[in-house]
């Protein structure tokens, strides 16, 4: 292929792929499968590698990120990013409406009601229909240039659809994270001992500030737009949003043009009740005067427009007494302070405890013993303390001082520089860390030991039968049967479960031993790259960091773990017990790429494979195991008694449903 032919094909592919991105991420109506999409992208990337001079800054290949930004450049906003006045009651909204009618007496005023997205504000500029810059709000006058990160957000167009837009303009919106993505990614963080984010807004904001755009690309941010800035000639705001939608921007469907305040209240009350159904967080409604002429007449105060206001939903809040602060120790030794409260009813549930996050949070709240505190339930599931009722503070009450030693084993706590969290370093002697590690080791995603749940782990530890995960393999039926509530039958079952775990493949053993930052995905990558525990144990920091998708932080954590004497002993004992500490290619574990590019959802019980096994088989043959049907799912593999919900959804999405035999044929030699 000549350079000229390459150029034509690259442009054609770029346009085609961006169109599919738009259909998938903005319209939610894809027309090709995930597999076909990947094929197009692969072709583009191959061509771009062949003709590097032809890589366009707007190429869909740029959406996967990769740029490492040293520091974000601070840029002045062309149009200042103002904030909105807040209202919390119907009365305050009526005052807003009255103020408007005083300034433009006798005129009919239409309002546009929009959701107030609880995310991070962004201003995105376009030059001749091509994305040029993305800037955060900052202080409203200047913000950070986060263009590389913005380009990874698939719902933000790189190139606009044909349209009558000016050559230069800016569009503003809110970057959000959907709750399902937030929960999934946050759970993965917890799995590897990272501290979970409090809510999707913090997660979105933390993500946008990452200096590694490839990591941003993985986190699945989304963006809704709500205002245009530039040389436009629209008469109304409503009309401007309709146009923006035609040019390819994602505009929320939940917008209402209202000709009376009562209609505004209806919208507010509707979403007040239904906000949970949206799948992302909102914290209120924004009410804007529709006519641009009226907006101009109304103008601005020093901080905000007179033609718009937000109505904020009140977070449910109550006050109660702080009885004490206790400190929980996680399996990685991370300490979480928890406030124990006098039980109080809040938004339908009785609240007894609230998370205090870390030492900084306690200091910020300036908590004293016996304080009356305000507790709120916002987007988070766990309620939080938002402040102290100083009027109720008892004279002479003492400040809460963060503990210096572990509440469980009295070891002095560590705090890694730059991190907010304290850790107990006594990994092998601190009871909750030991029990937590046992639970993690036996859990489904790890060694999947039937009969070894959290209660049994606790019991085994208390009875001094198990002190670390290797001790599990020295247990006998007799000493298990001697435990409270354990008959000889459950003892035999547990021993059988332990025996079976010796077949669990190396990658899951590596995940099970619970190295900080090594989740199931990283464990898989490490196992496949190094192939054995020995190789990992003898790798240098540089070699570890050189493995695919292993950064400095993970490499350091693995390296440190592997060098500890007690961990070396532990590995030796696991080896001696007969666990899989290297990748074996026996007859059952064939590897192929027969399922390459396919995403397969399994539902129901299969005859040949258990749940965890089938996932492995799919992955070993190059496929992806999906957890719920989506437009990206290639097949649904239905076993006995499948989930009717999943089957119905698959039928609706026209995903082919296959039997276990058909699946076996697909992967047969």
Catalytic residues, which ones?
116
β-strand pairing of 372-377 with 384-388 = antiparallel
Least spacing, CB of residue 284 vs ligand IVH, in Å: 8
- Distance CA(529)–CA(535), nearest Å, equals 10
- Classify 449 in phi/psi space as left (phi over 0), alpha (psi -120 to 50) or beta: beta
25 in Cβ contact with 176 (< 8 Å): no
Least spacing, CB of residue 241 vs ligand IVH, in Å: 10
- Write out the two tokens for 55: 């890589």
Least spacing, CB of residue 550 vs ligand IVH, in Å: 36
SS3 559: helix
- Per DSSP, 315 falls in state P
- Distance CA(638)–CA(659), nearest Å, equals 6
Is 63 or 116 the residue whose CB approaches ligand IVH more closely?
A: 116
Is 119 or 629 the residue whose CB approaches ligand IVH more closely?
A: 119
Rg (CA), the chain: 29
- Per DSSP, 348 falls in state T
Footprint of ligand IVH (CB under 6 A): 82-84, 114, 116-117, 121, 137, 174, 226-227, 286, 305, 308, 310
Nearest-CA neighbor of 245 among 27, 16, 19?
27
Is 267 or 517 the residue whose CB approaches ligand IVH more closely?
A: 267
Is 84 or 244 the residue whose CB approaches ligand IVH more closely?
A: 84
Is 114 or 439 the residue whose CB approaches ligand IVH more closely?
A: 114
- Distance CA(430)–CA(332), nearest Å, equals 10
Angle between helices 261-274 and 90-103 (to 10 degrees): 150
Instruction: Determine the residue with CB nearest ligand IVH.
Output: 121
Largest Cα–Cα distance of the chain, in whole Å?
90
Is 116 or 525 the residue whose CB approaches ligand IVH more closely?
A: 116
Task: List all residues 6 or more positions away from 258 whose beta carbon is below 8 Å from its beta carbon.
Answer: 110, 111, 112, 113, 264, 267
Is 7 or 133 the residue whose CB approaches ligand IVH more closely?
A: 133
- Write out the two tokens for 191: 């799995």
Residue 23 sits at φ, ψ, to 5 deg, of -65, -35
SS3 123: strand
Give the H or E element holding residue 567.
helix 565-577
62 in Cβ contact with 156 (< 8 Å): no
Angle between helices 431-442 and 454-462 (to 10 degrees): 140
Residue 315 sits at φ, ψ, to 5 deg, of -75, 135
Is 293 or 608 the residue whose CB approaches ligand IVH more closely?
A: 293
Task: List all residues 6 or more positions away from 70 whose beta carbon is below 8 Å from its beta carbon.
Answer: 211
Least spacing, CB of residue 23 vs ligand IVH, in Å: 24
- Write out the two tokens for 84: 């909105």
- Per DSSP, 25 falls in state I
Is 309 or 555 the residue whose CB approaches ligand IVH more closely?
A: 309
Q: From the centroid of its chain, how far is CA 471?
A: 35
497 in Cβ contact with 452 (< 8 Å): yes
- Per DSSP, 231 falls in state S
């Amino acid at each position: 292929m000549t350079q000229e032919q390459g150029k034509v094909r690259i442009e054609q592919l770029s346009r085609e792929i961006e169109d599919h991105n738009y259909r998938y991420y903005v319209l939610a109506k894809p027309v090709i499968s995930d597999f076909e999409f990947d094929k197009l992208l692969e072709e583009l990337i191959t061509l771009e590698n062949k003709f590097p001079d032809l890589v366009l800054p707007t190429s869909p290949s740029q959406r996967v990120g990769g740029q490492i930004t040293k520091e974000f450049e601070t840029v002045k906003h062309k149009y200042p990013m103002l904030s909105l006045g807040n209202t919390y009651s119907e009365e305050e909204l009526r005052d807003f409406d009255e103020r408007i009618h005083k300034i433009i007496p006798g005129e009919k005023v239409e309002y546009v009601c929009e959701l107030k997205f609880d995310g991070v504000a962004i201003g995105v500029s376009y030059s001749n229909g091509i994305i040029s810059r993305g800037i955060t709000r900052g202080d409203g006058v200047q913000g950070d240039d986060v263009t590389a990160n913005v380009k990874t957000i698939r719902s933000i167009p790189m190139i606009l659809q044909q349209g009558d837009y000016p050559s230069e303009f800016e569009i503003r919106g809110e970057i959000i994270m959907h709750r399902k993505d937030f929960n999934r990614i946050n759970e993965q963080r917890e799995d590897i001992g990272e501290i979970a984010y409090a809510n999707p807004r913090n997660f979105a904001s933390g993500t946008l500030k990452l200096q590694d755009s490839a990591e941003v690309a993985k986190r699945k941010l989304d963006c809704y737009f709500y205002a245009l800035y530039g040389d436009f000639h629209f008469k109304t705001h409503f009309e401007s949003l309709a146009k923006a939608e035609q040019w390819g921007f994602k505009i929320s469907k939940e917008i209402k043009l209202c000709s009376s305040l009562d209609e505004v209240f209806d919208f507010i009350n509707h979403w007040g009740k239904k906000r949970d159904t949206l799948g992302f967080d909102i914290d209120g409604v924004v009410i804007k005067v529709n006519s641009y002429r009226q907006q101009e007449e109304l103008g601005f105060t020093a901080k905000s427009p007179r033609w718009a206001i937000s109505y904020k939903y009140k977070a449910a809040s109550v006050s109660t007494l702080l009885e004490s602060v206790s400190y929980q120790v996680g399996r990685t030794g991370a300490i979480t302070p928890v406030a124990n409260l006098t039980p109080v009813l809040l938004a339908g549930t009785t609240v007894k405890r609230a998370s205090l996050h870390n030492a900084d949070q306690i200091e910020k709240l300036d908590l004293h013993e016996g304080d009356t505190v305000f507790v709120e339930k916002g987007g988070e599931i766990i309620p939080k303390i938002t402040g102290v009722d100083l009027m109720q503070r008892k004279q002479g009450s003492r400040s809460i001082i963060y503990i210096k030693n572990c509440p469980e084993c009295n070891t002095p706590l560590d705090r890694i520089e730059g991190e907010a969290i304290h850790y107990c370093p006594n990994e092998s002697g601190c009871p909750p860390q030991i029990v937590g590690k046992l639970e993690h080791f036996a859990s489904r995603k790890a060694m999947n030991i039937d009969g070894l749940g959290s209660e049994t782990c606790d019991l085994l530890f208390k009875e001094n039968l198990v002190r670390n995960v290797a001790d599990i393999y020295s247990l006998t039926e007799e000493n298990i049967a001697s435990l409270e509530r354990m008959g000889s039958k459950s003892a035999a079952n547990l021993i059988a479960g332990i025996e079976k775990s010796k077949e669990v493949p190396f990658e899951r053993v590596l995940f099970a031993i619970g190295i900080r930052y090594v989740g199931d995905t990283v464990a898989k990558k490490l196992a496949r790259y190094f192939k054995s525990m020995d190789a990992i144990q003898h790798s240098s920091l540089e070699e570890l960091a050189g493995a695919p998708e292993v950064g400095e932080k993970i490499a350091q954590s693995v390296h440190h773990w592997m060098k500890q004497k007690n961990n070396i002993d532990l590995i030796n004992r696991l080896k001696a017990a007969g666990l899989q500490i290297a990748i074996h290619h026996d007859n059952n574990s064939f590897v192929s790429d027969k399922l390459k590019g396919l995403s397969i959802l399994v539902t129901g019980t299969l005859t040949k494979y258990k749940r965890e096994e089938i996932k492995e088989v799919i992955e070993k043959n190059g496929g992806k195991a999906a957890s719920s049907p989506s437009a990206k799912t290639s097949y649904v593999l239905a076993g006995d008694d499948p989930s009717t919900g999943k089957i119905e959804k698959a039928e609706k999405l026209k995903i082919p449903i296959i039997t276990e035999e058909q699946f076996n044929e697909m992967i047969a030699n």
